[in-house]
Chains A and B, each alone.
Chain A
């Protein structure tokens, strides 16, 4: 694992912590991955772009938050298991402190009409943001009939039939893997081209 990063020099644990701490402190609404790519790949050359995109693909397939999975995988690739722990700690620390502060304040102020109104506005806006993220992530899937069918089946199972998530995954997961079972060579270049394009649009939207 660790020799992958050795090619172009690897960061010390402190450097790693600083990059992830910054990402955790300044990223809002899904910008973490674009930030990490800029710092780990472009600015410092600690990771090859292919390795980064590969990690992103794995992060999105495995359970858990994409930004946290991404931190575990690239932390591990650069500095082993300790690197993974340092990366995750850095990513979460600023958010944890601010989140708890907000939580305690909210607990005291939650009957305040202005606080309530503010949070309703935020939630409504979050709906627009979530829809944007989903459309960007799924822009490739939304044009393929088979993918559309799986998307619709999943949505109906969870939101209409109210089937518990575990059963939905156990039922539809193996079915989907079987439907996409190997039937020829995998186009690696094409796979990454689509990820690159999407990251580009992330950056276009969320860098200021």
Chain B
């Protein structure tokens, strides 16, 4: 019960801070779930994030798997509720209020001012995932290749991401083979 309450408030808090979307809160989510509450390790956080990439819809549905790890299906349900429902209600009413101020120059100031902060937070989120996943030349090459391809070509990112996963399986298999065979050789 205690764990469910912690899950609820942690994920509700993170969602309310999600200016700039899901990527923007990744560093805060990592800090709270790994360092503060020890619900997952860094490696598990990275793996769960990756699961979100291969599922359709919002990537951040991956928070349910963190909840599941901590407290089973009840944990997953609580986290989904806490992460999405308060934000939806906030958005519903804030947007209705926003419409009333649609001619106010301050509305534009808020939007213009928050935009670079959101970009900065997204860079921080990207950096957090890079720290967890880029450890060798192969992972660096995968990230660079994905960036390069998406910048120049029309590709559905899920195809690239799946190909990257398979490429790393082959790479890791060979690397493992090498470390196994060297002592024998």
Q: Is the CB of B19 within 8 A of A29?
A: no
In the bound complex, what is the Cα–Cα distance between A2 and B148 (angstroms)?
43
In the bound complex, what is the Cα–Cα distance between A103 and B31 (angstroms)?
21
Q: Is the CB of A102 within 8 A of B55?
A: yes
In the bound complex, what is the Cα–Cα distance between A110 and B84 (angstroms)?
27
Q: Is the CB of A150 within 8 A of B17?
A: no
55-92 of chain A: CB within 8 A of chain B: 55, 57-69, 72-73, 76, 81, 84-85, 88, 91-92
Q: Is the CB of A91 within 8 A of B121?
A: no
176-208 of chain A: CB within 8 A of chain B: 176-182, 185-186, 191, 204-208
Q: How extensive is the interface on chain B, given as a class? A: 35 or more
> Which residues of A lie under 8 Å from residue B113 when comparing CB positions?
150, 173, 176-180
In the bound complex, what is the Cα–Cα distance between A144 and B84 (angstroms)?
34
A104, closest chain B residue (CB): B68
Check if A169 is an interface residue, CB within 8 A of chain B. yes
In the bound complex, what is the Cα–Cα distance between A118 and B122 (angstroms)?
24
In the bound complex, what is the Cα–Cα distance between A168 and B124 (angstroms)?
12
A-B contact pairs, 30 of them (CB 8 A): A24-B57, A25-B56, A29-B156, A30-B157, A31-B157, A60-B111, A62-B19, A64-B15, A64-B18, A65-B58, A99-B55, A103-B68, A106-B51, A113-B173, A119-B51, A121-B167, A121-B168, A124-B134, A126-B49, A126-B50, A128-B142, A128-B145, A128-B146, A128-B160, A129-B160, A129-B161, A134-B126, A151-B120, A158-B120, A173-B19
A contacts with B, residue count (CB < 8 A): 106
In the bound complex, what is the Cα–Cα distance between A147 and B68 (angstroms)?
40
Interface centre among A72, A142, A147 (most CB of B within 10 A): A72
B18, closest chain A residue (CB): A63
- Answer whether A63 and B15 are a contact pair too, CB < 8 Å, given A124-B139, A150-B116, A151-B123: yes
Partner of A165, one of B28, B102, B110, B138: B28
Mostly, the B contact residues are helix
- Answer whether A63 and B17 are a contact pair too, CB < 8 Å, given A25-B56, A121-B166, A154-B121: yes
> Which residues of A lie under 8 Å from residue B1 when comparing CB positions?
none
Q: Is the CB of B68 within 8 A of A72?
A: no
- Answer whether A113 and B58 are a contact pair too, CB < 8 Å, given A63-B17, A103-B51: no
Partner of A64, one of B53, B87, B150: B87
